[in-house]
Amino acid sequence: MATATGGSAGRGSWGSSFGFILAAAGGAIGLGNIWGFPYTAAQSGGAAFVLLYLICVVLIGLPVMFAELSIGRATHKSPVTAFKALAPRSAWWLVGAQGVITGFAILAFYSVVAGWAVGYLYKAIAGEFSAGLTPVETQQIFHDLVANRQIVTLWTFLFFLAGILVVQGGVHGGIERACKILMPLFFVLLIGLAVRSMTLEGADKGISFLFNFELQRIVDNPKVILNALSQAFFSMSLGMGAMLTYGSYLSRKENLPWAGVSIGMADTAIAILAGLMIFPAFFAMGGTIDTLSTYREEALVFVVLPTIFDQLPAGQLFGIAFYALLVIAALTSSISLLEVITAFFVDELGWKRRSAVWVFGGAAFLLALPCALGLKITEDMSFMSLLILIFFQYSLLVGGFFICLFVGWAWKPQSAIAEMTAEGKTFPGLPFWSILIRFVCPLVIAIIILNQLYTAWKG
């Protein structure tokens, strides 16, 4: 049974601070790190993007993370109920509600991509990638998989089932326990693959692609800034109350800011390590910058990498390792999304955890169906890309914007700082954090959103 380290009676709590960090890092580290970060870096000019990304993490991501963790632990409630508790008789709870809706939508498209990964793991185990494939053939394999709607639905369903079974077990007995097994396994696989990739001949081109800053590329393409910020929010699981919910199961004994910094640093380090796993191998196998920026979203992970594995000695083994890693990362993240939804129905509407997980996990699966089935909204926009556009690019940023306003101006930074420094805890620079959360973060987020809307509207 969970020891009572935090939370109201019966709500559950983390077993240990290490368990919490692993679970929260597991929620943050996911497809966003392994799939999204390298892809966005490839699209946005490599090192210039990496630099901007790091600035976004430090100046905006971490301050918002502190804010979410503080609201969660101060109330021991999930988003909607938490806003109601801190600001009764106001409309702030809508920020929490937006988070729950965003959770549903992200879980839907996320699980379909995870379903592709499960399918690829199966293919890797079956030895489909070790038969001397040409790039055209690997492209075909991907198209065939996506086009095979029953199979994609099946894989997505199995993925959902795994997440539901974990979340049903509760915070301590389900989520924390699963992450304690899955995350170490994930780290071992990732480090093994990154070392293999970086020791290939010609790997240095990939490394300099990630770290050789050319500021001109940012100036050339201002969308890089939006990409970097949305990617930071998505990767750190911010803007929809996931960190808030995880913080709500924490005891006041924890040093919140340090926990936040550890989670943020782990997430960022893993994204960079994922880049170091993918790009050196890509360049070592003859890839070039010009081909890189022409790939579509899914191509790097599902089309390019199988060709690369195919050329390595023991390639099948590396292929299995890679797709297993992808599935693990996606599972621990989807768990955190499902937990936000579940906690809402438990805290706000008094549902039993078990019923909430099955009913609303099931509802999210229904929303995933049109994605898995490739439903189209218009000639060149699928239902899935519409969800990604609204909920990945905008909704998290809008949520983050209001979280900043709430903590900066309604709840007040002093209250959050009192929560962060409870029981004599200290953290350097908290007055500076107040300035960031009141002025810098909301302003930067608003400018980036408005600029993007303006460009989209004009173009």
Of 28-36, 83-91, 141-149, 319-327, the window that binds ligand TRP (rule: CB under 6 A) is 28-36
Considering the complex, what minimum distance in angstroms separates the CB of residue 31 from ligand TRP? 4
Residue pair 117/326 in contact (Cβ under 8 Å)? The answer is: yes
Question: How is 190-248 classified by DSSP, letter by letter?
Answer: HHHHHHHHHTSTTTHHHHHHHH---THHHHH-THHHHHHHHHHHHHTT-SSSHHHHHHT
DSSP state, 29?
S
Q: Which of 48, 52, 105, 106 binds ligand TRP (CB under 6 A)?
A: 106
Q: Does 32 bind ligand TRP (CB under 6 A)?
A: yes
Q: Which of 52, 224, 240, 281 binds ligand TRP (CB under 6 A)?
A: 240
Q: Does 27 bind ligand TRP (CB under 6 A)?
A: yes
Judged by beta carbon, residue 75 or residue 393, the one nearer ligand TRP is 393
Distance CA 261, CA 258 (A): 5
What is the per-residue binding string for ligand TRP in 338-357, x denoting contact by CB under 6 A?
--------------------
Of 64-72, 193-201, 281-289, 330-338, the window that binds ligand TRP (rule: CB under 6 A) is 330-338
Of 23-31, 362-370, 430-438, 448-456, the window that binds ligand TRP (rule: CB under 6 A) is 23-31
Give the number of other CB atoms < 10 A from CB of residue 11.
19
Query: Looking only at residues 394 through 433 of this chain, which bind ligand TRP when binding is defined by CB under 6 A?
Result: 396
Query: Looking only at residues 436 through 455 of this chain, which bind ligand TRP when binding is defined by CB under 6 A?
Result: none
Counting other chains too, the contacts that 410-413 makes at CB distance below 8 Å and 24 or more residues apart are 410/86, 410/87, 410/90, 410/92, 411/71, 411/86, 411/87, 413/437, 413/438
Judged by beta carbon, residue 107 or residue 386, the one nearer ligand TRP is 107
Number of residues that bind ligand TRP (CB under 6 A): 16
Kindly tell me the sign of the dihedral angle through the C-alpha atoms of 422, 425, 431, 434. Answer: negative
Query: Looking only at residues 45 through 84 of this chain, which bind ligand TRP when binding is defined by CB under 6 A?
Result: none
Judged by beta carbon, residue 138 or residue 336, the one nearer ligand TRP is 336
CB contact set of 181 (below 8 Å; sequence gap of 6+): none
Judged by beta carbon, residue 232 or residue 285, the one nearer ligand TRP is 232
Residue pair 11/249 in contact (Cβ under 8 Å)? The answer is: yes
Residue pair 48/217 in contact (Cβ under 8 Å)? The answer is: yes
Quick one: tokens of 447? 């400018």
Element (H, E) at 74: helix 62-75
Return residues touching ligand TRP (CB under 6 A): 27-28, 30-33, 106, 234-235, 237, 240, 242, 333, 336-337, 396
